[in-house]
């Protein structure tokens, strides 16, 4: 009997998706659990598998169509399996194995896109993900190793002696011809936004129209943190297997400042403020389709090494497209670091329903006055964007001052 292929329920915050790509075509024989179609949501990409064995008898929603949770994508006809000719059985008995050989079922969606862009045969890529799954980094490694060498420079032509100069009276100046217009120089390209990019755009506009956003700024002297990292970087790496970055210092300092000013660790529900006495800190990381904000749960209970490891893991899986919905769900306060891209100063936009977001920036040597003397110090501008509906300006300014004090005296973080 026919079995419907449904858009699955991914999470309470995801109600629609977009059909990114069908991995099978109508008439293909499939086994239960075989990946059939890739869906793109505003948070994660996922594969929908066959509900039962049979033949993919019908595809209802084509590539690029938007769909809702619970809608029918297509139909697998279970009865068609028994009706297939016996001669076809050996070739069709192991469709999952055939896909694995072709590199389809064992590759992430971002890896498949990277393979198409770089003309890489997925069947020749050795996967480093779980169960040998091909990741984006694996495709990029193969693409780089297969890149053609740069062509040798053309030999320089021999110079010819200049002809003798003509008398000035004999020279004439020819008119300069107009530059011909070359067709195609002013081209345009129309690209449909991905589901994630469209949702990011919608949420950013909603944040600006629903919240009373305001930003305040301060600067942090990073001398003490840089010196501490330099003293302990070798022993920290040997003990924990990861470098000691600056992100963990700001996560810890943010928690200390949130404890002092709890309304920045809250959200608005109707006419009530929900003050949260736990600290799930979102850390914005770059991905192919835009920034995503995975969440460090109970960050106040974690040490520096655990925080650094989680951030590194988030960054790796954001690049591979393997972040889960659970990684992105919730969060009470967000930190975003534009400094990794060279930003000196910016005003971050709130991540609703949160009411505070901290923006970090590039560390830059600048002259500052210290005890009446001008010294060159590694300085960083920090920005706090907050919802003025429940956070007063004085409270926001004092929050940044508290954060500044904690970062400039890293030993105080241990007391927190």
91 and 72 part of one domain: yes
Q: Which domain holds residue 239?
A: 212-415
| Token couple for 323 | 């972040």
Degrees to nearest 5, angle at CA 292 with 201 and 312? 160
Average pLDDT over residues 70-87: 69
Q: Do residues 87 and 134 both lie within one domain?
A: no
Per residue, the 3-state secondary structure of the chain, as one string, reads: CEEEEECCCCCCCCCEEEEEEECCCCCCEECCCCEEEEEECCCCEEEEECCCCEEEEEECCCCCCEEECCCEEEEEECCHHHHCCHHHHHHHCCHHHHHHHHCCCCECHHHHHHHHHHCCCHHHCCCCCHHHCECHHHHHHHHHHCCCCCCCCCCCCCCCCCCCCCCHHHCCCCCCCCCCCCCCCCCCCCCCCCHHHHHHHHHHHHHHHHCCEEEEEEEEECHHHHHHHHHHHHHHHHHHCCCCCCHHHHHHHHHHHHHHCHHHHEEEECCEEEECCCCCEEECECCCCCCECCEECCHHHCCHHHHHHHHHHHHHHHHHCCCCHHHHCCCCEEEEEHHHHCCCCCCCCCCCCCCEEEEECCCEEEEEEECCEEEEEEEEEEEEEEECCCCCHHHHHHHHHHHHHHHHCCHHHHHC
Is 188's pLDDT higher than 70? Answer: yes
In this structure, the answer to whether residues 32 and 113 fall within a common structural domain is no
Q: Which residues are catalytic?
A: 388, 392
- Same domain as 63, residue 123: no
Give the domain CATH number at 16: 2.40.50.100
Q: Are residues 219 and 325 in the same domain?
A: yes
**Looking at residue 316, which CATH number applies to its domain?**
3.30.559.10
Most confidently modeled range among 79-88, 111-120, 160-169: 111-120
- What confidence score (pLDDT) does residue 178 get? 64
As given in the structure block, the two tokens for residue 405 are: 């004090």
Rounded CA-CA distance 243/5 in Å is 46
Cis peptide before 359 (omega within 30 of 0): no
Residue 100's pLDDT band, with cuts at 50, 70 and 90, is very low
pLDDT by residue (tens digit) across 102-149?
A: 444 467 766 777 787 788 888 888 877 655 778 777 787 788 777 554
95 neighbors 84 (Cβ within 8 angstroms)? no
What distance in Å separates the CA atoms of residue 401 and residue 392, rounded to the nearest whole number?
Answer: 14
Instruction: Give the number of domains in the chain.
Output: 3
Check residue 172 and give its pLDDT: 52
Of residues 58 and 406, the one with the higher pLDDT is 406
Mean pLDDT of the chain: 83
187 within a domain of the structure (yes/no): no
Q: Is 177 part of a structural domain of the chain?
A: no
Residues 95 and 111 in one domain: no
388 in the same domain as 317: yes
Q: Which whole number is the average pLDDT over 388-396?
A: 96
Same domain, yes or no: 239 and 278: yes
Indicate whether 258 and 341 sit together in one domain. yes
The confidence score (pLDDT) of residue 129 equals: 63
Is residue 355 included in any domain, yes or no? yes
Does residue 84 carry a pLDDT above 70? no
CA distances from 179 to 172, 183, 184, 234 (A): 21, 12, 15, 61
The CA distance from 1 to 80, in Å, is: 8
Same domain, 58 and 115: no
Q: Quick check: is 207 in a domain? A: no
Q: Is residue 202 part of a domain?
A: no
Question: If 0-12 CB within 10 Å is exposed, 13-18 middle and 19+ buried, where does residue 141 land?
Answer: middle
pLDDT digits (tens, 9 = 90+) for 224-279: 999 999 999 999 999 999 999 999 999 999 999 999 999 999 999 999 999 999 99
Whether 31 and 61 map to the same domain: the answer is yes
Q: Are residues 239 and 281 in the same domain?
A: yes
Q: Which carries the bigger pLDDT value, residue 57 or residue 1?
A: 57
Q: Which pLDDT belongs to residue 268? A: 94
């Amino acid at each position: 009997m026919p079995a419907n292929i449904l858009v699955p329920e991914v999470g309470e915050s995801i109600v629609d998706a977009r059909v990114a790509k069908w991995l099978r075509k109508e008439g293909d024989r499939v086994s239960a659990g075989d990946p059939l179609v890739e869906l793109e949501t505003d948070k994660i990409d996922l594969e929908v598998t066959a509900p039962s064995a049979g033949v993919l008898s019908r595809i209802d929603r084509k590539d690029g169509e938007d769909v809702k949770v619970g809608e029918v994508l297509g139909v697998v006809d279970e009865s068609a399996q028994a009706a297939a000719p016996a001669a076809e059985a050996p070739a069709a008995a192991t469709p999952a194995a055939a896909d694995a050989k072709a590199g389809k079922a064992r590759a992430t969606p971002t890896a498949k896109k990277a393979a198409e862009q770089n003309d890489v045969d997925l069947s020749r890529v050795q996967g480093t993900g779980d169960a040998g799954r091909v990741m984006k980094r694996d495709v990029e490694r193969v693409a780089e190793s297969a890149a053609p060498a740069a062509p040798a420079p053309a030999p320089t032509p021999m110079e010819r002696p200049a002809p003798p100069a003509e008398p000035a009276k004999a020279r004439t100046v020819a008119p300069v011809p107009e530059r011909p217009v070359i067709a195609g120089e002013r081209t345009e390209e129309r690209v449909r936004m991905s589901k994630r990019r469209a949702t990011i755009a919608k949420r950013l506009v909603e944040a600006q129209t629903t919240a009373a956003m305001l930003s305040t700024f301060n600067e942090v002297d990073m001398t003490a943190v840089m010196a501490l990292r330099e003293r302990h970087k070798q022993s920290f790496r040997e003990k924990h297997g990861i470098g000691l970055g600056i992100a963990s210092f700001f996560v810890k300092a943010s928690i200390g400042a949130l404890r002092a000013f709890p309304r920045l660790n809250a959200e608005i529900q109707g006419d009530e403020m929900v003050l949260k006495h736990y600290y799930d800190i979102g850390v914005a990381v770059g991905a192919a389709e835009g920034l995503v904000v995975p969440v460090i749960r109970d960050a106040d209970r974690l040490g520096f090494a655990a925080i650094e490891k989680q951030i590194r893991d988030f960054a790796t899986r954001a690049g591979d497209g393997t972040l889960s919905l659970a990684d992105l769900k919730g969060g009470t306060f967000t930190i975003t670091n534009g400094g990794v891209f060279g930003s000196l100063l910016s005003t971050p936009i709130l991540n609703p329903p949160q009411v505070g977001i901290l923006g970090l920036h590039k560390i830059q040597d600048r002259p500052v006055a210290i005890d009446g003397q001008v010294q060159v110090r590694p300085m960083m501008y920090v920005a706090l964007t907050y919802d003025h509906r429940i956070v007063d300006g004085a409270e926001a300014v004092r929050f940044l001052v508290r954060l500044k004090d904690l970062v400039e005296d890293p030993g105080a973080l241990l007391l927190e």
